[in-house]
């Protein structure tokens, strides 16, 4: 989809938001099941879902979790020479081992997240390629130690209340809280060639049917169903519902770098995950021990949120608020003018 196809006049309606919330709870649910739970017709759900995708408001994709494969995940802050940021950020966004890229700090800082599938891939990026780039003045890399919110592990709290408790139950939600798990699995999963084919198909469409997945893996729907269940259970892949927050009215986003008392990291991280403005929060290594991403409607709301609510939370020692000037990529999907556009070129390369 090109930028020109994104309609600035498209505004999601209440039923659109209800469908997005339903997808958060059950991203692979059939249109029939969603229609039954929401009290809509199947054709209406189908039509609205396809319009939301076409307008760059949502995208459902299978995202591989490198932690399940035994690889750590890192957040990286790059300070760059003036005039070089766009080229470096765009180049990072085209890498399949970088799944989140944003420009902040008056256009001279890039924040990105790595999802390297192998140690060699990670060391090549962090230890070789970036340090050798003359336009990069400074690099700070932080290992993710515990994820409190982000991806399928937790629903973005801003959409809570879009559905009734009964509707959420019909979609399969049991109302239980997010169960934290180690970022890096102690017993890594070893993928087969068929697994890779299934993951590649899910990256293109997280709602791909079993027949399509079976065709992609040269297998049978029954076999693929069992393997997909195992991959989801072991957290190798999460069916992620990417949302263009700006399309829902959240036009201001910011990186929050927080230092809290070590004894309060877990409590603080879990409390942040419950805030409607927070889309991601994790404990990290380095001088700041928590990193979060906030979505607000404007800068005034960001100020009120960070000063009044976060600022009054017990255990906070310091906080850096870094508004994002340009969000380039999230979960493998490129963005343009606040809308989801397409998978990066390298993310669309053929599976091994």
Q: Give the tens place of pLDDT for each residue, 3-37.
A: 333 455 688 999 999 999 999 999 999 999 999 99
Q: Which pLDDT belongs to residue 347?
A: 46
Q: Which pLDDT belongs to residue 343?
A: 65
**Residue 202: band (very low, low, confident or very high) from pLDDT cuts 50, 70, 90:** very high
- Helices 42-54 and 31-38, interaxial angle, to 10°? 110
DSSP letter for each residue of 98-165? EEEEEEETTTTEEEEEE--SSHHHHHIIIIIITTT-TTEEEEEEEEEEEEEESGGGS--GGGTTSS-H
Percentage helix, strand, coil, to 5, in the chain?
A: 40, 25, 35
DSSP letter for each residue of 253-290? EEEEEEEE-GGGHHHHHHHHHTSTTEEEEEEESSS-SE
Q: Which pLDDT belongs to residue 9?
A: 67
Q: What is the pLDDT of residues 228-285, one digit of tens each?
A: 999 999 999 999 999 999 999 999 999 999 999 999 999 999 999 889 999 999 999 9
Residue 171 has pLDDT above 70, yes or no: yes
**Residue 332: band (very low, low, confident or very high) from pLDDT cuts 50, 70, 90:** confident
Q: Which of 134, 136, 135, 114 is nearest to 125 (CA)?
A: 114
Q: Which pLDDT belongs to residue 177?
A: 55
Q: Which pLDDT belongs to residue 299?
A: 97
C-alpha angle 159-165-167 in degrees, rounded to nearest 5 = 85
Q: Which of 74, 61, 54, 70 is nearest to 2 (CA)?
A: 54
**Residue 111: band (very low, low, confident or very high) from pLDDT cuts 50, 70, 90:** very high
Q: State which CATH number among 3.40.50.300, 3.30.70.920, 3.60.40.10, 3.30.200.20 fits the domain covering 149-161+246-324.
A: 3.30.70.920
CA 260/CA 115 separation, integer angstroms: 26
Q: What is the pLDDT of residues 51-78, one digit of tens each?
A: 999 999 999 999 999 999 999 999 999 9
**Containing H/E element for 242?**
strand 237-243
Q: Which pLDDT belongs to residue 155?
A: 67
Sign of CA dihedral 53, 229, 168, 41: positive
Please report where in the chains the tokens 């770098």 appear, as a residue: 257
**Residue 175: band (very low, low, confident or very high) from pLDDT cuts 50, 70, 90:** low
HSE of 102, CA atoms in CB hemisphere, 13 A: 21
CA 39/CA 45 separation, integer angstroms: 10
Q: What is the pLDDT of residues 287-325, one digit of tens each?
A: 999 999 999 999 999 999 999 999 999 999 999 999 999
Q: Which pLDDT belongs to residue 351?
A: 42
Q: Which pLDDT belongs to residue 77?
A: 94
**Residue 133: band (very low, low, confident or very high) from pLDDT cuts 50, 70, 90:** confident
Where along the chain do its domains lie?
Answer: 149-161+246-324
Residue 2 has pLDDT above 50, yes or no: no
Q: Which pLDDT belongs to residue 195?
A: 97
Q: Which pLDDT belongs to residue 134?
A: 85
- For range 76-86, the mean pLDDT: 92
What is the percent of the chain with per-residue pLDDT over 90, rounded to a whole number? 75
Residue 174 has pLDDT above 90, yes or no: no
Q: Which pLDDT belongs to residue 178?
A: 62
Q: Which pLDDT belongs to residue 311?
A: 97
- pTM recorded for the entire structure: 0.89
* Token pair of 33 as six digits: 């099941």
CA 55/CA 59 separation, integer angstroms: 10
Q: Which pLDDT belongs to residue 301?
A: 97
């Amino acid at each position: 989809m090109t930028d020109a196809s994104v309609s600035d006049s498209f505004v999601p309606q209440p039923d659109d938001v209800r469908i997005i919330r339903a997808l958060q709870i059950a991203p692979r649910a059939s249109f029939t099941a969603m229609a039954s739970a929401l009290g809509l017709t199947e054709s209406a759900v189908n039509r609205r879902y396809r319009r939301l995708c076409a307008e760059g408001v949502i995208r459902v994709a299978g995202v591989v979790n490198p932690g399940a494969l035994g690889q750590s995940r890192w957040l990286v802050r790059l300070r760059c020479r003036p005039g070089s940021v766009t080229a470096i950020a765009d180049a990072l966004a085209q890498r399949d081992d970088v799944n989140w890229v944003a420009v902040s700090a008056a256009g001279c800082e890039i924040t990105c997240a790595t999802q390297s599938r192998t140690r060699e891939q990670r060391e090549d990026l962090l230890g070789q390629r970036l340090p050798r780039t003359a336009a990069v003045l400074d690099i700070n890399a932080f290992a993710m130690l515990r994820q409190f919110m982000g991806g399928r592990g937790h629903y973005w709290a801003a959409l809570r209340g879009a559905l009734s408790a009964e509707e959420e139950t019909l979609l399969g939600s049991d109302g239980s809280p997010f169960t934290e798990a180690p970022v890096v699995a102690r017993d890594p999963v070893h993928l087969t060639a068929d697994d890779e084919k299934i993951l590649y198909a899910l990256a293109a469409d997280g709602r791909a049917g079993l027949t399509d997945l079976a065709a992609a893996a040269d297998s049978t729907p029954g076999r693929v169903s069992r393997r997909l269940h195992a991959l989801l259970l072991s957290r190798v892949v999460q069916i992620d519902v990417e949302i263009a927050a700006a399309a829902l009215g959240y036009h201001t986003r910011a990186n929050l770098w927080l230092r809290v008392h070590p004894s309060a990291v877990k409590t603080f991280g879990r409390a942040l995950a419950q805030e409607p403005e927070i889309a991601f929060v994790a404990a990290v290594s380095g001088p700041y021990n928590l990193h979060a991403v906030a979505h607000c409607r404007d800068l005034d709301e960001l100020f009120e949120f960070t000063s009044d609510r976060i600022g009054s939370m017990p255990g906070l020692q310091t906080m850096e608020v870094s508004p994002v000037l340009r969000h380039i990529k999230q979960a493998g999907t490129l963005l343009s003018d606040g809308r989801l556009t397409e998978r990066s070129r390298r993310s669309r390369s053929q599976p091994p």
